[in-house]
């Protein structure tokens, strides 16, 4: 009887800790997604203006150029050589979009082990994001070898923003963005169980990693 009581208490404590994890991250995920959608709306409005007038004022043209740089698009390094076209707007609208909150939470669970790993608890890095310079993160070495560090952030929201920027701009996640575009053609919001298939390059375990994310989304965030 005592063993059963102890087990029940431990399970309740675990559930409480996991609920706290969700309560901590979910509002920040929603906030970061709202910021992305604000960017997307701004780009779309400028796209409408451009299609109507075939031009943009210099300050808006520079804003589009800065977004293209931020989202790692292939553009001339010299802004004076940059010629705006519909192509660049379509490229930005593909890259600047939300990431389903259920998927973000699942990755945070796997990468930080429910927030227990040091780079999450101490470095506000819940997504296992790496950097290559010792002054860009924590001194914990990654298993990939010497020279890799876990990035650290001033706040959790900064870590969430950087994670979203990574998925929205990184070359390795082009499949993720393709799936998201396909989802957008058929539904109002991207389906986390569809777009997760585009994250095979996020971790070295590939399909096993994707299956673990699907399991968490189904069992922990049903």
Query: pLDDT tens for residues 86-97?
Result: 999 999 999 999
CB 201 within 8 A of CB 172: yes
What are the tokens at 103? 């998927």
Determine the pLDDT at residue 9: 43
φ, ψ for residue 137 (rounded to 5)? -165, -160
The answer to which of 58-62, 111-115, 146-150, 207-211 has the lowest mean pLDDT is: 146-150
For the chain, what is the domain count? 1
Task: Note down the domain range covering 189.
Answer: 101-219
DSSP H helical ranges for 75-171: 86-95, 101-112, 118-121, 156-169
pLDDT (tens digit, 9 = 90+) per residue, 54-85?
999 999 999 999 999 999 999 999 999 999 99
Residue 191 lies in a domain: yes
Residue 168 lies in a domain: yes
Span 204-219, average pLDDT: 93
pLDDT of residue 105 exceeding 80, the answer is: yes
Residue 35 lies in a domain: no
Determine the pLDDT at residue 12: 63
CB 164 within 8 A of CB 33: yes
Residue 61 lies in a domain: no
Whole-angstrom distance, CA of residue 186 vs CA of residue 184: 5
pLDDT of residue 42 exceeding 90, the answer is: yes
Beta-strand relationship, 130-131 and 149-151: antiparallel
Span 146-160, average pLDDT: 89
What are the tokens at 9? 């208490």
The helix (H) or strand (E) run that includes residue 149 is strand 149-151
- Note the pTM of the prediction, 2 decimals: 0.90
| CATH code: domain of residue 141 | 1.10.530.10
Residue 176 lies in a domain: yes
Residue 153 lies in a domain: yes
Pick the closest to residue 40 from 95, 116, 113 (CA basis). 95
């Amino acid at each position: 009887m005592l063993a059963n009581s102890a087990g029940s208490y431990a399970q309740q404590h675990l559930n409480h800790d996991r609920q706290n994890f969700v309560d901590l991250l979910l509002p920040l995920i929603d906030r970061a997604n709202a910021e992305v959608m604000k960017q997307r709306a701004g780009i779309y409005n400028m796209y409408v203006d451009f299609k109507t007038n075939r031009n943009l004022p210099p300050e808006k043209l520079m804003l589009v150029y800065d977004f293209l740089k931020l989202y790692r698009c292939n553009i001339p390094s010299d802004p004076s050589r940059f010629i705006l076209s519909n192509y660049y707007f379509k490229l930005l609208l593909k890259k600047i979009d939300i990431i389903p909150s259920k998927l973000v939470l699942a990755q945070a669970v796997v990468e930080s082990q429910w927030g227990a790993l040091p780079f999450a608890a101490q470095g506000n890095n819940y997504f296992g994001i790496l950097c290559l310079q010792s002054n860009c993160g924590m001194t914990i070495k990654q298993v990939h070898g010497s020279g890799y560090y876990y990035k650290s952030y001033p706040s959790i929201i900064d870590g969430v923003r950087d994670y979203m920027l990574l998925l929205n701009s990184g070359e390795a996640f082009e499949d993720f963005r393709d799936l998201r575009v396909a989802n957008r053609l058929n539904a109002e919001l991207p389906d986390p169980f569809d777009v997760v298939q585009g994250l095979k390059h996020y971790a070295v375990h590939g399909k096993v990693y994707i299956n673990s994310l699907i399991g968490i989304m189904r069992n922990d965030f049903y």
